[in-house]
Structure 1
Amino acid sequence: MKPTSPRLLALMAAASLGLGLLLPRLIPGLPDAVTGVLLGAAFGLGLAALMYWRLPSPCDTAPAALRRRYTREIAVSMSAYAVAVIVSLLLLKRADLDTPVRALVALLPVPPIALVLRAMVRYIRDVDEMQQRIELEAVSIGTALVCMVYMAGGFLQAAKVIDVPSASAMIWVFPFICATYGVAKAVVIRRYQ
């Protein structure tokens, strides 16, 4: 199977879903966040598989070698991110750490996300002008939509209509931008066909 095969993505989504549902039963006291990460990965991989089935193939004009490099870098970085989140959560929950060490442990997932961003920038830099235009439009639309929703949420929070913990709101900004970017890219690609 190719690295971007919808079947492989669907299989990985099923494995993540199975782990997310099975691990809490096998390891009592496992933090809910670990289950959340696995279920989130299942959702993301399932969405990616669905998008690969629905998008034209190839979905962009980038050379195959560049797409393979990008897919490899993203897969490695996101796998490192998932491991870092789980390790960080387990250490924060089960270890009595001093504040500076606690801060370092809490920030363990940040370097893998920096590698994801690096892979995205390298990919956009190395594609042709048409693909750069598609990427720019998709990133702009995704970022604008998330900013609008985040700002609306802030107004609702200030008016005491909703009460969202700030940590949750901050953590979810990047994943929401990535998700809206992916959906926006599917729409933008269709416009240029």
Structure 2
Amino acid sequence: MSQATSVNQSFSDYVGSSIDVLRNTAETLGMGRLDAAIAAVATALGENRALLVCGNGGSASDAQHITGELVGRFLKERRGLKAICLSSNAAVLTAWANDYSYDTVFSRQVEAYGETGGVLLGISTSGNSKNVVAAFEQARAMGMITIALTGEGGGRLAALSDILLDVPSRSTPLIQQAHICLYHHLCERVETQLAG
């Protein structure tokens, strides 16, 4: 399994490490777990149930990216899909974190926007982000399907995930690069199913 990259490695070596992680991800996840995630998201969105997406830092940007592709378009012309990024509403995030706790900024929004049969997609390279874990606990209590995009092993999210998509690496940048490939593929497949 890929470990953290060296600060002294060449760009060519870095690209090689990235390729190794992507290859290992394809072999480890195969199409079973990823297919299950695609089916869950397509079913929920096809029934006009929300896909909620959350993460912190770079994973917050990934959450925005995913919802942007689904609300807007990825490759095909089709209707907008009910995908909501929980990481992007600054007023909600800052008000709730200031008055209560940053640990519950996502679970509060799951309570507000989630519904039975909907999907929560949480992104955390460690799998241990407290606010993402709390969101998964809330989602499960509401009968939502939980999908986690993590690094190797899934951390605390592994036990709370209906579908775990854990990249076999401990290097945050390499995990994030693999996440982009995973969710681009998910967006393309979901769009193809729903646009048809």
**TM class, shorter-chain normalised?**
under 0.3
Which has a greater percent of strand? Answer: 2
TM-score (norm 1): 0.26
Q: Which has the higher contact order (CA 8 A, sep 6+)?
A: 2
Structure of greater Rg: 1
TM-score (norm 2): 0.26
